[in-house]
Amino acid sequence: MASRVAVISDVHGNWHALEAVLRAVDAESPDELWCLGDLVGYGPRPNPCCAAVQERAALCLAGNHDLGVLGEVDLAEFAPDAVASANWTRVVLTPEARAYLETLRSSGRRERAELFHASPRDPVWEYVLTIDAVEASFELTEEPLVLVGHSHVPLAIVLERGELGGGIAPEGTEAKLGGSSARCLLNPGSVGQPRDGDPRAAWLLLDFGSGRAEFRRVAYPVARTQEEIRERGLPDALAERLARGV
C-alpha cells in the first residue's frame, strides 16, 4: 500500500485553488493522491480541474455536483445557485472532461481505508456533520480509516473503546490514523469552496508509516477566481462566499 497519501475533495471548478494545493502536494512528494469528488460545480474552470485530477489522482470519486452535471441526479435536489452553475458547466464541459467524470463512482476502497464522497449511508448526499451520521459511518464500515467529503468542513473524529472524540480540524490539526484499538473518520475539507470560516484551500496528508494525518491549508488568489466567476455570469454569491470561507 502507499505509505504517504495526499487527500483532496470538493474542488468545484476552482482552478487557482487546485493549482496551489497541487504545488503544496508536490512539495511533500506523496506516493499517491486521492480525490473524494465534486471536481465541478460552483466554480468557473471545470475543465482544467478535471484534467489535472485525471492526470494526478490514483483514485477519484464522483460527487453530487459531478453527477448533477452528467444528468445522473436530478438538479431539483440542488439550490438555485448550484442549478445555475450546473447548467452552465454542462455547456462548457469538454468531451474529455465529461468522459472522465462518467468513469467515477461515489465510493471506493483502499487497503485500510474506505472512501465516500458524502457518507457510507448515502455516498452521494448525506453530510457527516451530526453524531448520528458519524455513528452510522462507523457502523457501516470496517476499515480503520473512513474518508468523507461533501460538507466542505475539515473533520477529525476518533472512535476508541466505544467513545467518540474530535471535531472540526483547523490547519495544523494532527490525528492518529485508525488501528487495532481505534478507528478514525477524516474529512479533508474543500479545495475550492471551504465552509469552515477559513478561505484558504484545504487538503490532508496521510502518513501510514507514522500513523499520523495532518490537516493543511494553502492560500491562493481568491480574487482571480472571483473575477472569473463574474466574467462567466455565474451567481455573484458564489464569488462573494470564497473570500469568507463560508
CATH number of the domain to which 39 belongs:
3.60.21.10
Question: Do the beta carbons of residue 49 and residue 60 sit within 8 Å?
Answer: no
Consecutive H or E run containing 69: helix 64-70
Quote the CA–CA distance of 124 and 234 in Å, as a whole number: 24
Give the pLDDT score at 2. Answer: 79
Check pLDDT > 70 for residue 161: yes
Q: What is the pLDDT of residues 206-242, one digit of tens each?
A: 999 999 999 999 999 999 999 999 999 999 999 999 9
Neighbours of 208 (CB within 10 A): 19
Quote the CA–CA distance of 92 and 45 in Å, as a whole number: 9
Quote the CA–CA distance of 112 and 105 in Å, as a whole number: 19
Give the pLDDT score at 84. Answer: 97
Write out the residue range of the structural domain in which residue 231 sits. 4-243
DSSP letters spanning 148-197: E-SS---EEEEEETTEEEEEE--TT-EEEPP-SSEEEEEE---SSS--SS
Give the pLDDT score at 178. Answer: 65
Check pLDDT > 70 for residue 76: yes
Tell me how far apart the 2 most distant CA atoms of the chain are, in Å: 53
User: What's the distance, Cα to Cα, between the start and end of the chain in Å?
Assistant: 35
Average pLDDT for 101-120: 97
Strand-pair partners of 164:
159
Among 20-24, 50-54, 164-168, where is mean pLDDT lowest?
Answer: 164-168
Average pLDDT for 144-151: 97
Q: How confident is the model at residue 179 (pLDDT cuts 50, 70, 90)?
A: low
% the chain with pLDDT above 90: 93
Give the pLDDT score at 49. Answer: 98
Quote the CA–CA distance of 66 and 73 in Å, as a whole number: 9
Quote the CA–CA distance of 120 and 113 in Å, as a whole number: 12
Give the pLDDT score at 116. Answer: 98
Q: Which residue has the cell 472569473?
A: 228
Burial letters 34-69, b for 16+ CB under 10 A, else e: bbbbbbbbbbbbbbebbbbbbebbebbbbbbbbbbb
Q: What is the pLDDT of residues 32-49, one digit of tens each?
A: 999 999 999 999 999 999
Q: How confident is the model at residue 31 (pLDDT cuts 50, 70, 90)?
A: very high
Average pLDDT for 51-78: 96
Give the cell for residue 156.
477529525
Give the chain's domain count: 1
Residues whose CB is less than 8 angstroms from the CB of residue 233 and which lie 6 or more positions away in sequence, other chains included: 88
Q: How confident is the model at residue 181 (pLDDT cuts 50, 70, 90)?
A: confident
Check pLDDT > 90 for residue 21: yes
CA 85-58-106 angle, to 5 degrees, is 50
